[in-house]
C-alpha cells in the first residue's frame, strides 16, 4: 500500500499520483486532523505524494 498522511492547523488534504494521474485523494480535512490517502500498489510502482491546503 502507498499511504499519504498530512496534518496541519488549517483545512488540508493529501493525494497520491502516478504518471500525473491522481490515483487517490483524501477529502478536505479539518485543521489538526490527519488527512489520509491510500492506494494499493505493486512493489515496482512509483507514486508521488502531494499535499494541499484549503
Per-residue pLDDT at 3: 83
- CATH 1.10.10 for the 2-53 domain, yes or no: no
Per-residue pLDDT at 53: 94
Compute the half-sphere exposure of residue 7: CA atoms within 13 Å on the CB side of its CA.
Answer: 3
Complete DSSP assignment for 10-54: SSEEEEEEETTEEEEEPPPB-TTSPEEEEE---TT---EEEEEE-
Per-residue pLDDT at 24: 94
Q: What is the pLDDT of residues 1-54, one digit of tens each?
A: 888 888 899 999 999 999 999 999 999 999 999 999 999 988 888 999 999 999
Amino acid at each position: 500500500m502507498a499511504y499519504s498522511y498530512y496534518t496541519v492547523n488549517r483545512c488540508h488534504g493529501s493525494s497520491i499520483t502516478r504518471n500525473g494521474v491522481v490515483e487517490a485523494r483524501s477529502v478536505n480535512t479539518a485543521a489538526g486532523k490527519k488527512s489520509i490517502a491510500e492506494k494499493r500498489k505493486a512493489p515496482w510502482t512509483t507514486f508521488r505524494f502531494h499535499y494541499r491546503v484549503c
